[in-house]
């Protein structure tokens, strides 16, 4: 059983398109996150939701919009994709202040 699963694993799309990445966790955690790993391999937090409420919103373009329909899901919508959005996006979950469990990642390539 996958604890944190995200789909798709690979996503290739053209500039200007709108795309979504889905994430689900079955760990019963109350907090979910989106992290981005850029071409230099840095892992940086983008968003955090606790019980469906946005609690962390780092300096991210407003083309990126997270949506949490319930505690177990946190989806990431990206509008008007740009070349610089190409990266690996990781979903994660944790109890409020505990260790985070990560999904396998979604490699987004914008062409």
Partner 1 sequence: DQQVKQNSPSLSVQEGRISILNCDYTNSMFDYFLWYKKYPAEGPTFLISISSIKDKNEDGRFTVFLNKSAKHLSLHIVPSQPGDSAVYFCAASESNTGKLIFGQGTTLQVKP
CB of 86 to partner 1, least distance (A): 16
What distance in Å separates the CA atoms of residue 29 and residue 109, rounded to the nearest whole number? 30
Cβ 80 to partner 1, closest distance in Å? 27
Q: Which secondary structure element, helix H or strand E, spans residue 13, and what is its range?
A: strand 10-13
Q: Are residues 11 and 107 in contact, defined by beta-carbon separation less than 8 angstroms?
A: yes
- Applying CB under 8 A, the residues found at the interface with partner 1 are 4, 31, 33, 35, 40-45, 48, 50, 55-56, 90, 92, 94, 96-105
**Whole-angstrom distance, CA of residue 32 vs CA of residue 29:** 8
Question: In this complex, which beta carbon is closest to partner 1, that of residue 14 or of residue 97?
Answer: 97
User: Which residue, 79 or 107, is less far from partner 1 as judged by CB?
Assistant: 107
């Amino acid at each position: 059983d996958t604890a944190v699963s995200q789909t798709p694993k690979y996503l290739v799309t053209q500039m200007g398109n709108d795309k979504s990445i889905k994430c689900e966790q079955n760990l019963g955690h109350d907090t979910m996150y989106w992290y981005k790993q850029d071409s230099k391999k840095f892992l940086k937090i983008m968003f955090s939701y606790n019980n469906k409420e946005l609690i962390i919103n780092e300096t991210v373009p407003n083309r990126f919009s997270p949506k949490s329909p319930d505690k177990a899901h946190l989806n990431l919508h990206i509008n008007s994709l740009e070349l610089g959005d190409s990266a690996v996006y990781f979903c994660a979950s944790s109890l409020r202040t505990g260790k985070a469990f990560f999904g396998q990642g979604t490699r987004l390539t914008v062409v």
